[in-house]
Amino acid sequence: AQTVTQSQPEMSVQEAETVTLSCTYDTSESDYYLFWYKQPPSRQMILVIRQEAYKQQNATENRFSVNFQKAAKSFSLKISDSQLGDAAMYFCAYRSGGQTGANNLFFGTGTRLTVIP
Amino acid sequence: DTGVSQDPRHKITKRGQNVTFRCDPISEHNRLYWYRQTLGQGPEFLTYFQNEAQLEKSRLLSDRFSAERPKGSFSTLEIQRTEQGDSAMYLCASSKSWITGNTIYFGEGSWLTVV
């Protein structure tokens, strides 16, 4: 079974600084996808960034980038130039890439990010 | 905005009562998922539909839970004889199924409190 581990329950960062959130996962599959979701206090889960396992290049979305280490099964999220609006719960998630089955998401327990003005 | 919508957003019910939540997915999405999230935890998969067919159910989905998607559009999640342990956020999500690895989009959730 797939498991996703986020070892940092809470993190804080000064506004405009950079922070890295950690995520490791365990799987025996070779085809899968990894995601970072953000859940602000309003509770809606919002996709931040996604990474296909077959791609060696790390995904980037504006101020958000990932460090995907497939052999180490590590998938960290880097937030540059942190803004007050980045404060939220961040979830790392895994999804099988198979063509059959639910392909549902397996989530970590989350990291609560606080941005200090 | 044509995102995933859920109703009601909040529900307080007495133990033993039945509750029903509704989810309207993004219109072109034929996959619909239900997740449950308790405080301090990540969402946990409950069940999913492809069109009107319920294709997978988690062990978390006890006999008191039933989900339907009668016409392949909106879905309902009913909890019968609620227990205090059912208190959680129930999240609905949807995605396209013909593109491998497509993104799952979430609604704002329905928060259930059983007293």
pLDDT of B110 higher than 70: yes
| A44 interfaces chain B, CB cutoff of 8 Å | yes
Nearest CA in chain B to A48: B103
pLDDT of A96 reads: 83
Contact A47 B103 (CB under 8 A): yes
- Mean pLDDT of all residues in chain B? 91
By C-alpha distance, which of A17, A37, A22 is closest to A83?
A17
Mean local confidence (pLDDT), B97-103: 67
Please give the share of chain B, as a percent, with pLDDT higher than 90. Answer: 73
Q: Is the pLDDT of residue A5 over 80?
A: yes
| Res. A16 pLDDT band, cuts 50 70 90 | very high
- What's residue A75's pLDDT? 97
Peptide bond into B8 cis (omega under 30): yes
pLDDT band at B56 (very low <50, low <70, confident <90, very high): confident
For the cut 80, the answer to whether the pLDDT of residue A100 exceeds it is no
Distance CA A43, CA A14 (A): 23
* pLDDT surpasses 80 at B105: yes
pLDDT of amino acid A41: 83
Confidence of residue A84 (pLDDT cuts 50, 70, 90): very high
Measured between CB atoms, does B44 come within 8 Å of chain A?
A: yes
Question: Which segments of chain A are extended strands (E)?
Answer: 3-5, 10-14, 19-21, 24-26, 32-39, 46-52, 60-61, 64-69, 74-79, 88-96, 105-107, 111-116
Predicted confidence (pLDDT) per residue in A48-78, tens digit:
999 999 888 999 999 999 999 999 999 999 9
| Nearest C-alpha in A relative to B33 | A104
- Residue B102 has a pLDDT of 74
Nearest residue in chain B measured CA to CA from A111: B40
CA B27 to chain A, closest CA, distance in angstroms equals 18
**Nearest chain A residue to B34, by CA:** A104
Residue among A37, A99, A104 minimizing CB distance to B100 = A99
- The per-residue pLDDT for A44 is 85
Q: Does the pLDDT at position B1 exceed 60?
A: no
Q: Which of A92, A105, A12, A98 is nearest to B94 (CA)?
A: A105
Using one digit for the tens of pLDDT, what is the confidence trace for B45-55? 999 999 999 98
**For residue B26, is pLDDT > 80?**
yes
The pLDDT value given to residue B103: 83
Q: Is A102–B106 a contact, with Cβ atoms under 8 angstroms apart?
A: no
Residue to substitute from B23, B99, B103, interface A, most A β-carbons within 10 A: B103
